[in-house]
Amino acid sequence: MVSSQPKELTYIDKKVIKNEKMSAIWLTISKIALEHDYQKAYETALTQADDIYLLRLILQTGPVLSKGLTDVTGKRVL
């Protein structure tokens, strides 16, 4: 007899799912930045709950305040 109850996820399964989600978000942000749409890339990174996306983006793009960010986004980055 096969149980219809869903199997409870292990700690490792939960971490893998979280990492896959983080990777997908980062790939989206990185692609936007590679297309030189820095405003949209930074807006997207700033809306995420985890600051790691913003830090990765800063490392990828280098100084961007003079590359077309609005004053509001620039202040949020700082």
pLDDT of 5-25, one tens digit each? 678 989 998 889 888 988 899
More confident residue, 78 or 29: 29
* Structural domain boundaries in the chain: 11-77
**What's the pLDDT score for residue 4?**
67
Residue pair 41/67 in contact (Cβ under 8 Å)? The answer is no
CB atoms closer than 10 angstroms to residue 57: 22
**What's the pLDDT score for residue 40?**
97
Q: Whole-angstrom Cα distance, residue 25 to residue 32?
A: 11
**What's the pLDDT score for residue 2?**
57
Q: Which pLDDT tens digit goes with each residue over 32-69? A: 999 999 999 999 999 999 999 999 999 999 888 887 89
Question: Is residue 45 classed exposed, middle or buried when 0-12, 13-18 and 19+ CB atoms within 10 A define those classes?
Answer: buried
Q: Supply the pTM of this predicted model.
A: 0.76
Q: Whole-angstrom Cα distance, residue 75 to residue 22?
A: 25
